[in-house]
Structure 1
Amino acid sequence: MKALIIADNNQLEFVDKEIPIPKDHEVLIKINAVALNHRDQFIREGKYPGISVGTILGSDASGTVLETGKNVDSVWKSKEVLINPNVNWGENSKVQSSNYHILGTPSDGLFCEYVTIDAQKIAEKPAHLSLENAAALPLGGMTAFRALFHHGRCQKGENILISGVGGGVAQFAFQFALAKGANVYVTSSDETKRTKSTELGAKGAFNYKDSNWVKEAKSKSGGFDLAIDSAAGEGINDLIKLMNPAGRIVFYGATQGKTQNLDVHRMFWNQITLQGSTMANDDEFKEMLAYVRKNRIEPIIDSVRPFNEIITAFDKMKAGDQFGKLVISLLSN
């Protein structure tokens, strides 16, 4: 089978591997489609911990079960499924274990034609989603779900701000909050992404590079009850200024680095919560899929291309040009 690995000097390389054989508790899946996440590009750039040469990349995929191990219910055979990319979350639902990681580094991932996976890590594909749309869902969807609902406690009618709306997790947080009935606002430095967001239901869209964007956002919204952020850095202080009393800021990344001069005085006086979040536990993966089914949410897809063109998708992610998920189809393979 064909697989995409991280090779020497952080180069991407296609290799041929044997089709794996499922163990007693596993299933063999024919991969139908995969999707990129920013972590895949970070691995390519050598910016991610635990990188091991020869590892198959990829955390998001949809597929069809071809074989079941002898301890797996044969009802799964021929079903179209999604894969939970968690490895070793652990017993504490509140936080991942010390040896937790995600498929695609250091464990082999899903950018390949066939994979074996523990049967407890699969879930039936939501019927309203295409195979390509479904592949875009797992990692970004579960990260957004935990940030928005577990930590953020998003409620109908609240004012919610989603920063960096072009990214995959931000996209899902945006869609999930809209489905909840929140008043959703977004930020992006890209005019096209701001326009698309308002077309999809955002109450307002702000360019965080404008010097007066905080004043504009405060004036238009009246303040925010919840902000979902992936950048951190000095931008956290802008979010603090925008929060209503007892507001919550949840961040799931720090692409802009540390916040050097955190506005702690405004935080304690207004009783603002600043909460870190990452991925989601295995139960939340199932809850996220149920939420997607109930609300018939469809991931926003930037583009779909064949497996042999996957490196061009990495290049597009590096440039930051995408709005929505970059999906790779293996259906013709």
Structure 2
Amino acid sequence: MKAIIHSGQSGLEGLQYTESISRAPEAEEVQIQLKSAGINHRDLFIMAGRTSQDTPLILGSDGAGVIVEIGEGVNGLSVGDEVIIHPTLGWDHTVDVPIVPDIVGGPTDGTLAQYITLPARNALPKPSHLSWAEAGVLSLSALTAYRALFTRGELKHGEHILIPGIGGGVATYALLMAVVAGAKVTVTSRSEAKRKEALRLGAFQALDSHADWSLQNDLDSVDFILDSIGQAMFPKYFDIIKPDGRIVMYGASSGDDLTVPIRSIFFPQVSLIGTSMGSREEFSQMLQWVEQHDIHPVIDGLYPLQETAKAFERMEKTEQFGNLAILVE
């Protein structure tokens, strides 16, 4: 089969479009012929941390396709079923939080290939209202956004949520989901084009990331901040968050280390909440929720499998708004 393999050196230079061997399913596994896949910032982090000593790896955590072979002991799935991949391995129940979740596309081979073999529990029915391209980019980002908003953050109708750094996959899904849930959504970005797109998608207001947020109307009443940036923005949050507000953190794109103003947390009783990925239980809930509310992913661009490197280059430059879809022939 054709696949995108990372090997030989770190970063994008290690990407290769080449031949690989598809693996026949073992007991309780299925093999899926992929129609589409998606890429995430997680893939960039993985590539940056790999060296020439690492085993070649097929990247990609998002994907959708058709089951072509079934291993022994698989029930409820058949050859020909259209499925979407739940990317988190071995995390079935929401309460059983792993220290670090195992994800398709690292440590196991991922979705940037013509075929993938994985546990049958990680193949769920594809939402019928989504195209192949849309289904292929849904999994990891939408799951992360759903858990952050509803499981961990307990977002409620009428609350005001701030999403800094709009444009990436998780932030874009969070915007769509929060609007549908009846929240008032403020976003920030350095890009005027991204701010305009967020307003088109239902944001209440869109601010320049470098503005003095404390001077903005309606930013003295933020109930919930969804943070993926970390140290570069963190000090600004305490100028705008309400007493008893929540900061839900799922990333650290500007760096891991924070200087935390402790009195700004305990006097107003602000909650700092961590979140990452999600369980199979939440993935199933997310799919039902997306279908119920007719949510469609925002697709920034479509790329054939052999041009996956170009998609990663766009992502690395933070140029995209929404998701980058890979079409697998």
Q: Is TM > 0.5 for Structure 1 vs Structure 2? A: yes
In structure 2, C-alpha distance between the alignment counterparts of 1:206 and 1:214, rounded to whole Å? 11
In structure 2, C-alpha distance between the alignment counterparts of 1:139 and 1:132, rounded to whole Å? 14
Secondary structure of the corresponding residue to residue 9 of structure 1: coil
Match of 1:85 in 2: 87
**What letter is aligned with 2:86?**
N
Q: Residues 297-316 of structure 1: matches in 2 within 5 Å?
A: 297-316=295-314
Secondary structure of the corresponding residue to residue 241 of structure 1: coil
Question: What do residues 295-322 of structure 1 show as CA deviations (whole Å, max 9, x unaligned)?
Answer: 1100100011111111100110111100
Match of 2:2 in 1: 2
In structure 1, C-alpha distance between the alignment counterparts of 2:319 and 2:130, rounded to whole Å? 24
In structure 2, C-alpha distance between the alignment counterparts of 1:160 and 1:139, rounded to whole Å? 21
Quick one: which of 71, 75, 79 aligns to 1:73?
75
In structure 2, C-alpha distance between the alignment counterparts of 1:31 and 1:90, rounded to whole Å? 23
The answer as to whether partners of 1:96 and 1:281 remain within 8 angstroms in 2 is: no
Distance 1:74 1:202, change over 3 A: closer
Distance 1:323 1:92, change over 3 A: closer
Match of 2:16 in 1: 13
Q: Residues 1-333 of structure 1: matches in 2 within 5 Å?
A: 1-10=1-10, 11-46=14-49, 52-73=54-75, 75-89=77-91, 93-97=95-99, 100-210=101-211, 212-216=212-216, 219-330=217-328, 333=329
After TM superposition, give the deviation of residue 128 of structure 1 in Å: 0.5
Question: What do residues 146-169 of structure 1 show as CA deviations (whole Å, max 9, x unaligned)?
Answer: 111111110111101111110111
- Identical-pair percentage: 36
After TM superposition, give the deviation of residue 91 of structure 1 in Å: 6.4
Secondary structure of the corresponding residue to residue 325 of structure 2: strand
In structure 2, C-alpha distance between the alignment counterparts of 1:75 and 1:86, rounded to whole Å? 19
The answer as to whether partners of 1:6 and 1:52 remain within 8 angstroms in 2 is: no
In structure 2, C-alpha distance between the alignment counterparts of 1:183 and 1:76, rounded to whole Å? 43
Q: How many residues align?
A: 325
Secondary structure of the corresponding residue to residue 8 of structure 1: coil
Secondary structure of the corresponding residue to residue 287 of structure 2: helix
In structure 2, C-alpha distance between the alignment counterparts of 1:69 and 1:260, rounded to whole Å? 48
Secondary structure of the corresponding residue to residue 261 of structure 1: coil
**Structure 1 length-normalised TM:** 0.93
The answer as to whether partners of 2:61 and 2:110 remain within 8 angstroms in 1 is: yes
Deviates more, 1:235-244 or 1:65-74: 65-74
After TM superposition, give the deviation of residue 187 of structure 1 in Å: 0.9
Specify every segment of 5 or more residues in structure 1 that has no aligned partner in the other structure, as ranges. none
In structure 2, C-alpha distance between the alignment counterparts of 1:260 and 1:279, rounded to whole Å? 22
After TM superposition, give the deviation of residue 213 of structure 1 in Å: 2.9
The answer as to whether partners of 2:222 and 2:245 remain within 8 angstroms in 1 is: yes
After TM superposition, give the deviation of residue 116 of structure 1 in Å: 1.1
After TM superposition, give the deviation of residue 74 of structure 1 in Å: 6.6
Secondary structure of the corresponding residue to residue 255 of structure 1: coil
After TM superposition, give the deviation of residue 75 of structure 1 in Å: 4.4
**Bigger helix fraction:** 1
In structure 1, C-alpha distance between the alignment counterparts of 2:94 and 2:136, rounded to whole Å? 27
Secondary structure of the corresponding residue to residue 278 of structure 1: coil
